[in-house]
């Protein structure tokens, strides 16, 4: 029987906790704040796709904090999603040209929402690079998140709005223990990775899986749609969905 995403998550979370490889005692149900996050970020900074990027879509989790901070220091605009997409203006824009806070403060979740500007997805500038948090990955670029499905929804919304394209590179930073040498579960709404950085290694992925083309409504139940204002608005603009 193929391994499930839940099995993969539990395996990685337990292994990281037992090894003391995270900065926090609690690892389950979150993107692990792994030891060496800063060193993994340094490997991303060497990439041409990082150096050329002017606009970055980033996740709000602590292990990717060094990426958000450096992006703001380098004058890059950063977009972060509102947690659980619970507002219609579901992204916060961090523009270093107008921020009234240091990159260190603005790159935190609380600082971003204190000093950034809430925007609708269609107000975003075109994104040059996507940063994604992960629970587990493999060298082909398959990614397993923490299970809420919100990272995939954020990506789908950005694709539908035209601010991200299937060719936009996607990178994740992880601990070496999160890189699994096995096939991982994958579905059509999952976003594959182009690059994976660990404290010791930069992996260029070659899985070649197709990227999501937008929102896959058939994968969403009515209860979830009702909780996400931007999905309600988008569905209403589309008319009846077959």
β-pairing, 91-94 vs 117-119, is antiparallel
Q: What is the pLDDT of residues 103-145, one digit of tens each?
A: 999 999 999 999 999 999 999 999 999 999 999 999 999 999 9
Stretch 71-80: mean pLDDT? 98
Q: What is the pLDDT of residues 14-62, one digit of tens each?
A: 999 999 999 999 999 999 999 999 999 999 999 999 999 999 999 999 9
C-alpha dihedral over 87, 219, 189, 6, to 10 degrees? 90
Q: What is the pTM of this model?
A: 0.95
Q: What is the pLDDT of residues 163-213, one digit of tens each?
A: 999 999 999 999 999 999 999 999 998 999 999 999 999 999 987 888 999
Beta strands in the chain (DSSP E): 55-58, 77-81, 91-94, 117-119, 129-131, 136-137, 143-144, 170-173, 195-197, 202-204
Domain locations in the chain as residue ranges: 5-234
Q: Which CATH number fits domain 5-234: 3.40.50.10420, 3.40.1030.10, 3.40.50.300, 3.40.50.720?
A: 3.40.50.10420
- At 242 the pLDDT is 44
């Amino acid at each position: 029987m193929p391994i499930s995403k839940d099995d993969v998550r539990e395996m990685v979370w337990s292994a990281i906790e037992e090894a003391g490889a995270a900065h926090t005692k609690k690892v389950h149900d979150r993107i692990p704040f792994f030891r060496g996050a800063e060193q993994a970020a340094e490997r991303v900074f060497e990439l041409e796709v990082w150096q050329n990027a002017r606009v970055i879509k980033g996740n709000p989790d602590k292990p990717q904090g060094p990426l958000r901070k450096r992006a703001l220091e380098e004058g890059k605009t950063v977009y972060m999603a509102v947690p659980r997409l619970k507002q219609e203006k579901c992204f916060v824009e961090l523009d270093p040209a107008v921020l009234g806070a240091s990159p260190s403060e603005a790159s935190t979740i609380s600082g971003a929402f204190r000093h950034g500007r809430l925007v609708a997805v269609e107000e975003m500038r075109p994104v040059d690079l996507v940063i994604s948090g992960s629970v587990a990955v493999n060298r082909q670029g398959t990614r397993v998140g923490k299970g809420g499905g919100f990272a995939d929804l954020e990506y789908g919304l950005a694709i539908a709005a035209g601010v991200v394209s299937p060719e936009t590179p996607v990178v994740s930073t992880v601990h070496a223990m999160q890189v699994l040498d096995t096939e991982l579960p994958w579905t059509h709404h999952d976003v594959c990775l182009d690059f994976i950085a660990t404290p010791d290694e930069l992996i260029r992925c070659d899985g070649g899986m197709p990227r999501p083309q937008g929102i896959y409504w058939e994968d969403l139940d009515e209860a979830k749609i009702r909780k996400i204002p931007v999905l309600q608005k988008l569905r209403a603009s589309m008319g009846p969905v077959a």
